[in-house]
């Protein structure tokens, strides 16, 4: 097997900057706060931090409405503070990844302000403008992912502009050469400052149908689903031309050596594979989000793992994501006991894992009262379950401190205090200790980093598989059930268990017990 790149060997830790650590008492996390916690991330065993958007923004969508791609929002700090963070991270052996948001800008970005100033402005076609339909309404039936029409009327120029998300987030026209050139300059700006790669926001949405045809109705739509699900996104996502853009981004990163390009892409596996590129010239890792919404059963996950591994092109490297800033936390989805099983699953599957901040201490979704809702996805579609505030609540550092040590001020979202890093730090049976042991295990066993995955089998509520590399073999067994189960195993030694008392246990060939919600890794 060829020598692995750092992102193939490593583990990525996602930081939602508003919620990680506040250093100045304004209730919002910032760069100085992140910098102060880098030793924690390094000691955990992660290899890279991915920082969600920190660019200047009106914060209509909490930074995903970018007003300047080449600076830092004062809310989070300054460009010199970011540069210092990168230096500190590199000193600790950590890579730094940034969120790149190329599909849309803020409507307050100078580019859009020029674009909407007149129909003959040179930047007019940097965005998607269309004349009204014959009845004066929107040009077609495209819907916003935040609810309502995706077209916003501009009285000044007498046309509509397209926004896949909020009206405050107009979509850029990636068919325009100057847009591509400007965005290439953005990538180079941050690469020149030592950034080690990017997670590209909504990568599969960058190109829209050039004929602006109506999206067809979705025959599987069910009442109660988000409004945009009423239509199939035939002409507003996953257009063939997007792959040329991905190749261009890949080429830019290649100019800077070993940099990683990760794509946020919510598509079925067969479509996802295309984003690797036919010759490995696409995204290094199109994010594999299957675990976020999977039915939590041995049979479902076994089929998912096998199908994904078989679908990967020969040049492709796998990856797995257990949680992120847009989905309910794993401990809330499956419960505290199964969250431990999930940790073993994530960190023993083949490929690069991404850990969402707080999952390593078993954080659950926060309780958000109606008057505390901040997320526009929920405010625009109340009661639809689209709100992302619960999974974005602040990190819990020390339960004995006000706001769990996140801030000395009033936190932007309420802070839970059910557990914390400090409380779990010295407890060998804690979730934090489990994550640390798992990450140490990955570093010491090549089979978990570059080995194959084989014999993926579901037997009742138990999922088993093996990781192999040269003469090293590890057997993983995970009990997804609520009762004790018996598992067939070869002779070996338990090198890790969610039950600390089993570490080092010698296994005889035959059946071995697994307690409720237990997972083990054994050297066989």
What digits encode the pLDDT tens for the residues 218-272?
A: 999 999 899 999 999 999 999 999 999 999 999 999 999 999 999 999 999 999 9
Cα 413 from Cα 34, distance rounded (Å): 18
What domain count does the chain have? 3
Report the pLDDT value the prediction gives residue 270, as an integer from 0 to 100. Answer: 96
Angle at CA of residue 511, ends 509 and 514, nearest 5°: 125
- Residue 513 predicted with pLDDT over 90: yes
Q: State how beta strands 506-507 and 492-497 pair.
A: antiparallel
Domain that holds residue 462: 450-523
Q: Is residue 152 within a helix (H) or strand (E), and if so which, with residue range?
A: strand 151-154
Domain boundary among 384, 407, 436: 436
| pLDDT one-digit tens code per residue, 429-456 | 999 999 999 999 999 999 999 999 999 9
Helix (H) or strand (E) holding 129: strand 129-130
Task: Specify whether 17 is located in the same domain as 132.
Answer: no
The pLDDT of residue 78 = 98
Cα separation, 238 vs 264, whole angstroms: 12
**Other CB atoms closer than 10 Å to residue 492's CB: what's the count?**
20
Q: Are strands 95-100 and 48-51 parallel, antiparallel or unpaired?
A: parallel
Is position 367 within any domain? yes
Last residue of a domain, one of 402, 436, 470: 436
Task: Give mean pLDDT, residues 24-39.
Answer: 98
Domain boundary among 387, 407, 436: 436
Q: What's the confidence (pLDDT) of residue 2?
A: 58
In a domain, 442, yes or no: no
Q: How many CB atoms lie within 10 A of CB 504?
A: 11
Q: Which two tokens stand for residue 146?
A: 């935040």
Q: Both 97 and 185 in a single domain?
A: yes
Q: Please, what is the angle between helix 242-254 and helix 177-191, to 10°?
A: 30
pLDDT tens digits for 37-83?
999 999 999 999 999 999 999 999 999 999 999 999 999 999 999 99
pLDDT at position 418: 81
Is residue 83 annotated as a catalytic residue, yes or no?
no
Residues 270 and 388 in one domain: yes
How far does CA 102 lie from the centroid of its chain? 16
Answer whether residue 445 is part of any domain.
Answer: no
Residue 458 CB neighbours (<10 A) = 20
Same domain, 26 and 151: no
> Mind listing the pLDDT tens digit for each residue in 128-171?
999 999 999 999 999 999 999 999 999 999 999 999 999 999 99
The domain that holds 131 is classified in CATH as: 3.90.400.10
* Contacts of 151 by beta carbon, 8 Å cutoff, 6+ apart: 130, 138, 139, 140, 142, 160, 161, 162, 163
- Find how far residue 277's CA is from the centre of its chain: 21
Helix 336-348 / helix 431-444 crossing angle, nearest 10 deg:
10
Could you give the CA distance from residue 501 to residue 487 in angstroms, rounded to a whole number?
Answer: 18
* Whether residues 221 and 82 fall in one domain: yes
Query: What are φ and ψ of residue 155, in 5° steps?
Result: -65, -35
How many angstroms separate the CA atoms of 500 and 506, rounded?
14
Distances in Å between the alpha carbon of 274 and those of 118, 246, 261, 280, 482?
Answer: 39, 11, 14, 10, 39
Three-class SS state of 290? helix
Strand partners, 488: 511
Is 167 inside a domain boundary? Answer: no
Does residue 289 contact residue 258 with C-beta atoms inside 8 Å?
Answer: no
Q: What is the CATH number of the domain that holds 263?
A: 3.20.20.80
E strands in 405-491: 452-459, 462-469, 472-479, 485-489
Q: Which of 30, 264, 365, 391 is catalytic?
A: 264
Per-residue pLDDT tens digits for 444-490: 999 999 999 999 999 999 999 999 999 999 999 999 999 999 999 99
250 and 323 together in one domain: yes
* Same domain? 227 vs 357: yes
H helix runs in 192-268, sequence order: 242-254
**168 lies in some domain:** no
For residues 152 and 263, membership in a common domain is answered with no
Residue partners of 134: CB distance under 8 A and separation at least 6: none
Q: What are the structure tokens assigned to 518, written together?
A: 């237990």
Within a domain: 444: no
User: Based on the domain organization, do 350 and 266 belong to the same domain?
Assistant: yes
Same domain, 132 and 249: no
What's the pLDDT band for 523 if we cut at 50, 70, 90?
very high
Determine which one of 196, 201, 284, 391 is catalytic. Answer: 201
**Residue closest to 459 by CA, chosen among 302, 334, 296:** 302
Q: Active-site residue 264, yes or no?
A: yes
Pairing status of strand 485-489 against strand 510-514? antiparallel
Q: Are residues 154 and 299 in the same domain?
A: no
Tokens of residue 264, six digits: 């946020």
Kindly report the CATH number assigned to the domain that includes residue 478: 2.60.40.1180
Residue 209: inside a domain, yes or no?
A: yes
Question: Are 133 and 201 members of one domain?
Answer: no
Rounded-to-integer distance, Cα 43 and Cα 41, Å: 5
100 in a structural domain: yes
């Amino acid at each position: 097997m060829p020598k692995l790149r750092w992102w193939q060997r490593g583990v990525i830790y996602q930081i939602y900057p508003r919620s990680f650590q506040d250093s100045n008492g304004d209730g919002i996390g910032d760069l100085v706060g992140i910098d102060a916690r880098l030793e924690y991330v390094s000691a955990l065993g992660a290899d890279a931090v991915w920082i969600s958007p920190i660019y200047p923004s009106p914060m209509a969508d909490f930074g995903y409405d970018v007003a300047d791609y080449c600076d830092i929002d004062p809310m989070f700090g300054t460009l010199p503070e970011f540069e210092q963070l990168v230096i500190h991270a590199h000193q600790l052996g950590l890579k730094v990844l940034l969120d790149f948001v190329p599909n849309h800008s803020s409507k307050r970005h100078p580019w859009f302000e020029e674009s909407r100033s007149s129909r003959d402005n040179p930047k007019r076609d940097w965005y998607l403008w269309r004349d009204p339909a014959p009845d004066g309404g929107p040009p077609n039936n495209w819907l916003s992912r935040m609810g309502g029409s995706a077209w916003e009327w501009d009285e000044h120029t007498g046309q509509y502009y397209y926004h896949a998300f909020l009206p405050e987030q107009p979509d850029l026209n990636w068919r325009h050469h100057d847009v591509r050139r400007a965005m290439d300059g953005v990538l180079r700006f941050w690469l020149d400052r030592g950034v080690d790669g990017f997670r590209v926001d909504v990568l599969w949405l960058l190109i829209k149908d050039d004929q602006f045809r109506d999206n067809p109705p979705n025959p599987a739509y069910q009442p109660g689903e988000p409004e945009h699900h009423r239509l199939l996104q035939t002409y507003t996502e996953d257009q063939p031309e997007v792959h040329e853009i991905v190749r261009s981004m890949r080429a830019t990163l290649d100019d800077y050596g070993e940099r990683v390009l990760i794509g946020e892409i919510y598509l079925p596996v067969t479509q996802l594979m295309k984003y690797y590129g036919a010759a490995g010239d696409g995204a290094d890792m199109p994010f594999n989000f299957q675990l976020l919404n999977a039915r939590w059963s041995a049979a479902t996950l076994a089929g998912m793992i096998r199908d994904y591994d078989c679908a990967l092109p020969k040049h492709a490297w796998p990856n797995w994501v257990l949680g992120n800033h847009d989905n309910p936390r794993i401990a809330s989805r499956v419960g505290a006991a199964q969250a431990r099983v999930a940790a073993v699953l994530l960190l023993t599957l083949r490929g690069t894992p991404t850990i969402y901040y707080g999952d390593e201490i078993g954080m659950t979704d926060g309780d958000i009262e109606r008057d505390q809702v901040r997320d526009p996805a929920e405010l625009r579609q109340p009661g639809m379950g689209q709100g992302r505030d619960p999974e974005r609540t602040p990190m819990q550092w020390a339960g004995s401190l006000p706001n769990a040590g996140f801030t000395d001020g009033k936190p932007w979202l309420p802070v839970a205090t059910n557990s914390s890093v400090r409380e779990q730090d010295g407890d060998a049976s804690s979730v934090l200790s489990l994550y640390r042991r798992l990450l140490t295990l990955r570093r010491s066993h090549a089979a978990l980093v570059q080995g194959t995955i084989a014999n993926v089998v579901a037997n009742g509520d138990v999922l088993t598989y093996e990781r192999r590399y040269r003469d090293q073999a590890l057997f993983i067994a995970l009990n997804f059930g609520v009762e004790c189960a018996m598992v067939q195993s070869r002779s070996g030694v338990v090198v890790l268990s969610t039950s600390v008392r089993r570490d080092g246990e010698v296994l005889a060939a035959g059946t071995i017990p697994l307690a409720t919600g237990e997972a083990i890794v054994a050297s066989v």
